[in-house]
Structure 1
Amino acid sequence: MALIPKETIDQVLHYADIVEVVGDFVTLKKKGQNLWACCPFHHEKSPSFSVAPAKGIYKCFGCGKAGDVVRFVMDIEGVSYPESIKWLAKKYGVEIKEEERTPEQQLAQNERDSQFIISDWAKNRYHHLLQESEEGESIGWAYLKERGLNQQTIQTFELGYSLDKWDDVLNEAQKAGFDLKYLEKTGLVIRREEDGRRYDRFRGRVMFPIHNISGRVVGFGARTLRRDDKAGAKYLNSPESDIYHKSDVLYGLFQAKQAIRQEELCYLVEGYLDVISLYQGGVKNVVASSGTSLTEGQIRLIARYTDNITVLYDGDAAGIRAALRGLDLILEGGLNVRVVLFPDGEDPDSYIRKVGDARFRRFVEENSQDFISFKTQLVAREAAQDPVKKAEAIREVLQSIAKVPDPLKRQVFLQQTSTTFHIDEQVLIGEYNKLVKQSAPGPRAAGSPATADRRPAGNRPSAADRHAPSQTVVTPQGLSQRPADGSMPDEAYGFVEDDVAEDTDVLPDVQMSVEREIVRLVLNYPAQQLHEGVTVAEYLLGQTDETPFRTPIFADLLHLCRETLAAGKFPDARELVRHPRADIRAAISDLVTDPWELSPNWITHSIYVPREIDLLQQACDNAVLRLNKCNVERELADCLDAMNQLDPGNIDEYLAQMSIYKSLKQLDMQLAGLLGTIISR
């Protein structure tokens, strides 16, 4: 893999302006030192999304998304670290000179680029024929209008038409100077083995360009409009190629990704027209698997934008039965799956055209149910009067439940299944455990519904391992969950999510808040001078040099700051926020972004409020005193505990411990006095 040189990345980061980049997606308004907007990552009415230009950081106080300009592009576009750098480089006119590739790598890249170019040309050719040719207007355009599509929708999805000729694309591509081999490699042209004759794959069909996540055309779906074409397939798709892998593409995702993120929900349908009709009707968070069985690659794509999928089925019972198997993959990926079943003879496309946008939305909302409940009810109805079938149906449901990584969800689903089938829950759990044992590859397989799975850390995650069994981590906001495996966006760039701290006891809120305050002061005012010329970073890091932090995330952050200072530089939040660990990036963004701004009305009315920067010495002194007091209080508690464990007859040891306790209590009172605390905790 060719890498982007560090010098180029540094140049991109130098030019990239977070206000300009974020401003391309939301309208920012100045309020105090920062700019604010409604968050582009979730629905909200009041702005809680903040951009701090001086620090180069964004933070949403609603959903918690945070980071620097590179992370914003990664989050908003759903791309990797190198792709984000390239996106910014293109915006700011920075030339990307990737490190030298081998001849084989260069050849492979040239082949892919050529296929992208000719696919884009073909898309434009088909789109032109739809609007400008007599055949395209009278047949293709008329069909799309009949399906209720307007011109804006046709433009959005870049729909087209292929002439009912054997060699239109073949001849026009040759005239444009394209190499025939790329026409064949992309499947636009077919070459017969018998006589070497070439001809167009798509003829007399409405064309649906298939875009990848970045919006580049990788293939086509095509619907025949010839009523006499009984032998040919109704829909014809491009074959697999170097740029088109069906298992890694979802139709409509390029157009839908923003809406999916904002709605925090993805609707999954079967066909191209289902996607397009719903999108035109205002349901823009919709994608299609294009008639193929859902794959892990497609689930990973959806998981970039949301944890929630609702599958919209037509009333065909056989089709539902076949599709149920694919939905187990979604469960296994840790996503939340719901199902909506339309009336017999209806599909999403026909139903929204029949009842209109508002009634369609209401129907989906009222008829949506979680997948396990849906499957349980479906198989229960099918096996209602047959005990043997009923036993098989129960095992089938249990196999789906076993795919759910979350142990709490598994427990709830088992309770629901027990109620639906009128079977004792303990019997059901016993059967579940048998199934898990039978399918387990080894002794470390998934445990009982009441216990979490444990897998070796450090492996690259599958489908959606950010939803995998988690460990408890203390974050700035309190206890949170993180994947047991690290998330690894791009190892080649060293941009990997390292494992964070192991499970830890719940710490007192005071201890956590004190440690948080010390790190916050270091990150916000590292070079600010206190009395006698010492800086905030030097003072606080010196005062805490022999005091281990108990909150893992703040201990790690303090260590990073100490390393930076030892290297002769002051800790810089703009640089540290690019750290590969997600929990560190989130914590830094939280620590250097303030959700509150001082109202300008106070200044107008001559109300003076001291600024924190004017009281830094006091803030630093208080933070150190509070940390020392926390440590003394913990030692007091340990001393009392030790005294309680002593043998009542051991008077000498008891008196020794009592002496230590009195000394600690006296120190605690002194610290309380310095802090102005009336009653010592």
Structure 2
Amino acid sequence: MARIPKETVDQIIHHADIVEVVGDFVTLKRKGNNMWACCPFHHEKSPSFSVAPAKGLYKCFGCGKAGGVVQFIMDIEGTSYVEALKYLAKKYAIDIQEEEKTPEEQLVQNEKDSQFIVSNWAKDHYQKLLHETEEGESIGLSYLMQRGLNQTTIKTFELGYSLDQWDDLLKAAQKQGFEAKYLEKTGLTIVREDDPNRRYDRFRGRVMFPIHNVSGRVIGFGARTLKANDKTAKYLNSPESDIYHKSDVLYGLFQARQAIRTEEVCYLVEGYLDVLSLHQGGIKNVVASSGTSLTESQIRLIGRYTDNVTVLYDGDAAGIRASLRGIDMLLEGALNVRVVLFPDGDDPDSYIRKVGDQRFKDYLEKNSQDFISFKTRLVSQEAAHDPVKKAEAIREVLQSIAKVPDPIKRQVFLQQTSTTFGIDEQVLITEYNKLVKKDSQRAAPSSNGSQGGGGSGGGSYSQSGNRPYSSAPTTNNQQPTTKALSPEEEAEMAMYGASPDELAAASGGTPEADTDVEPVPDVLQACEREVVRLLLLYAAQPLTEDMAVAQYIFGQLEETPIQTPIYADLLHLCRQEMEQGRWPEVRTFIQHGRADIRLLVSDLATEKYELSPNWSTHQIYVPREVDQLQQACDNAILRLNKVNVQRELSVRLEALRHPMDELALLETLHTIKLLKKMDDDLGNMLGTVIPRVNG
């Protein structure tokens, strides 16, 4: 696989000033050693977003977002690790020379690059036709203006027009030297079935809507005919290609992603013009499924930016019915779903043009309702006074409730449904549990009795007390978590040099994970965390004339294995740095390829509060950790050893409860005596032992 050379990555990170990069998105103000601002990832009135220039990291104490300069671009732009590196390279004019590819790899990369290039050229060509030809202006531009779109919106979404000719684009592309095969692969031209040597343009006499991926690259087109008597489809889309997979794309997401984060909600509509009109009206956090049924990939895309979705429906009852399954999928994706229904005959585009921007926003706020309540009212009205239909309607609602992963929300929805239908809640819970059991058996009919996760997102409910039971496993092993990567992101990380371990960690898992690994107790994790924190933050700080903190801690840990995997991994990386003649530094690991390492380091290195300079002004001495490193390191090591001794002591004491021969008993008792003495000695050194009083 091709890679960005490590030297280039190091160069990018070295030149990328986190204050400068973050300052492109928010206004930073200095307070003490750090810079502060209102968080760009969530609403807040007082600043809780901090940037530490010396450490090269950021942290929001409100929403928890944290990391280095590369992570910031990943978070703010919604891009992968590699795309974030490319963004920074472009900002600092650093040329990325990828390492040499094999001929096969180069061919694949060239194929995709060529399709991106020809798609972007076609977009520019269609834009030029819209603004610089008589046909484009009189037909295409005139139509867009009639729909109320201004030049700013037309430019923002790069709208265009295709001439009503069989081969306009084909001839222009040939003149520019583009190969015919790339026009065909992207669906811009079509080969005649009866004559393979004859080609013609797919899009003719249509307004063109370029479709962008999340990085802003054109990957396909939607096209609307303007002929009243045209027998072809009103809308025509690019076919599937190497760069365009319609199930993975949401129209307008590239333009909406930042607004979705800021507003903490995504408005979901059906058509291109719905997106354009709402965006122009100041509702920029809007995307469209482009007339296709929602897919899991599209739902995961939304989930990268917000947990909240509001679906905007027109008043067509048949259309609403057809869309209900897609909303169930949103619920199953752990998103909070609300619905706004417009009056009969109106869609979002027509309604905002009818009532104006402000009244439209007021309507959204006043008429938004959670999906379960909306569906309950919808199906209850349809059932009217028919008992059979009413029973089916209740089961329909229960199926949607079962998709909700959160047990508390499920309980609330069951209570609401009980009230709306006028049916006893206990009866609903009984029926709900039947549905969940049935779906689980259908999803995983394995002989060992294990249940799959396909049919229902909900757990069953107790019939005494109506309290939800969760079937999810629990663990005390609190470790940093990351959202799963998409297949496209995994492939891209691998292409640029991520190891299997890095890929697994970035996806929220571990390679060849052992599901039977015993969780690490909280108290042991806390002790291991403190040792790792001291080593990371003060590695190069001297304790004596010939020994620094990192050397001292590694020396003390020779006989003490670290049990928490993420802490063991970070210590291993620190040791590798030292073996290569470098001290471990926060600035190094905050840019690491593994997302969980970046998250851990940012968490360890961030402090919410700084010591006020007023203390020294008033001549009040407050001891700092950096001035007492020997004591801090000693205490951390002693506490870790004491916890490990106590764990081993518990194991030996538990062993006494089981039968053993006399020799094994004597050995166990002797070991317990030694462990108790070690525990007392460690307690004495820490000052935590309470002396025994005789008498």
Question: What is the TM-score normalised by the length of structure 2?
Answer: 0.81
- Contact 1:30–1:36 (CA under 8 A) maintained in structure 2: yes
Q: Give me the whole-angstrom Cα distance separating, in 1, the residues matched to 2:276 and 2:616.
A: 54
* 1:317-344 Cα deviation digits (max 9, x unpaired): 1111111122333333333322222221
* 1:77-118 Cα deviation digits (max 9, x unpaired): 222233333333333344433344444443343333333223
Q: Give me the whole-angstrom Cα distance separating, in 1, the residues matched to 2:680 and 2:68.
A: 47
Structure-2 residue corresponding to 1:595:
608
Structure-1 residue corresponding to 2:340:
340
> Alpha-carbon deviation of 1:604?
6.5
> Alpha-carbon deviation of 1:197?
5.0
> Alpha-carbon deviation of 1:557?
4.5
1:570 aligns with 2:571: no
> Alpha-carbon deviation of 1:310?
1.8
Q: Alignment identity in percent?
A: 65
Out of 426, 433, 436, which is 1:432 matched to? 436
Change (3 A) 1:541 1:475: farther
- Contact 2:158–2:210 (CA under 8 A) maintained in structure 1: yes
* 1:177-214 Cα deviation digits (max 9, x unpaired): 33344333333334433466544333333221111111
* 1:477-534 Cα deviation digits (max 9, x unpaired): xxx87789999844552232434796747635xx765554433221111111113532
Out of 519, 522, 539, which is 2:532 matched to? 519
Q: How does 1:436-451 map to 2 (within 5 A)?
A: 436-442=440-446, 443-446=449-452, 449-450=458-459
Q: Give me the whole-angstrom Cα distance separating, in 2, the residues matched to 1:483 and 1:214.
A: 19
Q: Give me the whole-angstrom Cα distance separating, in 1, the residues matched to 2:229 and 2:354.
A: 28
Change (3 A) 1:470 1:589: farther
* 1:451-472 Cα deviation digits (max 9, x unpaired): 79xxxxxxxxxxxxxxx95754
SS at match of 2:522: coil
- Contact 2:249–2:298 (CA under 8 A) maintained in structure 1: yes
> Alpha-carbon deviation of 1:311?
1.3
Q: How does 1:231-250 map to 2 (within 5 A)?
A: 231-250=231-250
Change (3 A) 1:282 1:432: same
Q: Give me the whole-angstrom Cα distance separating, in 1, the residues matched to 2:655 and 2:107.
A: 72
1:133 aligns with 2:137: no
Structure-1 residue corresponding to 2:156:
156
SS at match of 2:214: coil
1:369 aligns with 2:369: yes
Q: Give me the whole-angstrom Cα distance separating, in 1, the residues matched to 2:344 and 2:652.
A: 73
Q: How does 1:29-40 map to 2 (within 5 A)?
A: 29-40=29-40
1:533 aligned partner, one-letter code = D
- Contact 1:636–1:664 (CA under 8 A) maintained in structure 2: no
> Alpha-carbon deviation of 1:272?
0.7
1:617 aligns with 2:621: no
Change (3 A) 1:475 1:560: farther
2:433 aligned partner, one-letter code = I
- Contact 2:69–2:591 (CA under 8 A) maintained in structure 1: no
Q: Give me the whole-angstrom Cα distance separating, in 2, the residues matched to 1:107 and 1:151.
A: 40
Q: Give me the whole-angstrom Cα distance separating, in 2, the residues matched to 1:106 and 1:80.
A: 21
Structure-2 residue corresponding to 1:507:
522
SS at match of 1:218: strand
Structure-1 residue corresponding to 2:552:
539
* Deviation larger for 127-136 or 403-412: 403-412
2:206 aligned partner, one-letter code = R
1:593 aligned partner, one-letter code = T
Structure-1 residue corresponding to 2:51:
51
SS at match of 1:594: coil
- Contact 2:481–2:596 (CA under 8 A) maintained in structure 1: no
* 1:279-326 Cα deviation digits (max 9, x unpaired): 112211111111111122222222222222221111111111111122
Structure-1 residue corresponding to 2:72:
72
SS at match of 2:82: helix
Q: How does 1:455-474 map to 2 (within 5 A)?
A: 471-474=474-477
2:387 aligned partner, one-letter code = P
Q: Give me the whole-angstrom Cα distance separating, in 1, the residues matched to 2:562 and 2:173.
A: 67
Change (3 A) 1:18 1:473: farther
Q: How does 1:253-652 map to 2 (within 5 A)?
A: 253-407=253-407, 409-421=409-421, 422=423, 424=427, 425-442=429-446, 443-446=449-452, 449-450=458-459, 471-475=474-478, 489=490, 490-491=493-494, 493-494=498-499, 495-498=502-505, 499=509, 504=519, 507=522, 515-546=528-559, 554=567, 557-558=570-571, 561=574, 569-579=582-592, 582-599=595-612, 609-624=622-637
Q: Give me the whole-angstrom Cα distance separating, in 1, the residues matched to 2:486 and 2:183.
A: 42
SS at match of 1:318: helix
1:213 aligns with 2:219: no
Q: Give me the whole-angstrom Cα distance separating, in 2, the residues matched to 1:503 and 1:38.
A: 41
1:428 aligned partner, one-letter code = Y
- Contact 2:112–2:243 (CA under 8 A) maintained in structure 1: yes
Change (3 A) 1:664 1:123: closer
Q: Give me the whole-angstrom Cα distance separating, in 1, the residues matched to 2:58 and 2:518.
A: 29
> Alpha-carbon deviation of 1:602?
5.7
* Deviation larger for 208-217 or 666-675: 666-675
Q: How does 1:105-184 map to 2 (within 5 A)?
A: 105-184=105-184
1:212 aligned partner, one-letter code = N
Change (3 A) 1:528 1:272: same
Q: Give me the whole-angstrom Cα distance separating, in 2, the residues matched to 1:160 and 1:384.
A: 49
Q: Which runs of 5+ in 1 are unaligned?
A: 453-467, 646-651
> Alpha-carbon deviation of 1:63?
1.6
1:79 aligned partner, one-letter code = T
SS at match of 2:503: coil
Q: Give me the whole-angstrom Cα distance separating, in 2, the residues matched to 1:125 and 1:372.
A: 46
* Deviation larger for 563-572 or 333-342: 563-572
Q: Give me the whole-angstrom Cα distance separating, in 1, the residues matched to 2:190 and 2:484.
A: 48
Structure-1 residue corresponding to 2:225:
224
- Contact 1:157–1:209 (CA under 8 A) maintained in structure 2: yes
- Contact 1:471–1:481 (CA under 8 A) maintained in structure 2: no
Change (3 A) 1:643 1:124: closer
1:574 aligned partner, one-letter code = R
> Alpha-carbon deviation of 1:175?
3.4
* Deviation larger for 134-143 or 524-533: 134-143
Q: Give me the whole-angstrom Cα distance separating, in 1, the residues matched to 2:396 and 2:329.
A: 14
Q: Give me the whole-angstrom Cα distance separating, in 2, the residues matched to 1:133 and 1:199.
A: 20
* Deviation larger for 601-610 or 282-291: 601-610
Change (3 A) 1:608 1:357: farther
Change (3 A) 1:254 1:604: same
> Alpha-carbon deviation of 1:22?
2.7
- Contact 2:476–2:521 (CA under 8 A) maintained in structure 1: no
1:445 aligned partner, one-letter code = Q
Change (3 A) 1:506 1:281: farther
2:213 aligned partner, one-letter code = N
SS at match of 1:496: helix
Change (3 A) 1:140 1:470: farther
Change (3 A) 1:397 1:166: same
Q: Give me the whole-angstrom Cα distance separating, in 2, the residues matched to 1:184 and 1:427.
A: 54
Q: Give me the whole-angstrom Cα distance separating, in 2, the residues matched to 1:84 and 1:214.
A: 10
Change (3 A) 1:112 1:542: closer
Q: State how many pairs are aligned.
A: 652
- Contact 2:494–2:503 (CA under 8 A) maintained in structure 1: yes
1:366 aligned partner, one-letter code = K
Q: Give me the whole-angstrom Cα distance separating, in 1, the residues matched to 2:366 and 2:148.
A: 25
Q: Give me the whole-angstrom Cα distance separating, in 2, the residues matched to 1:612 and 1:666.
A: 27
Structure-2 residue corresponding to 1:455:
none
- Contact 1:507–1:551 (CA under 8 A) maintained in structure 2: no
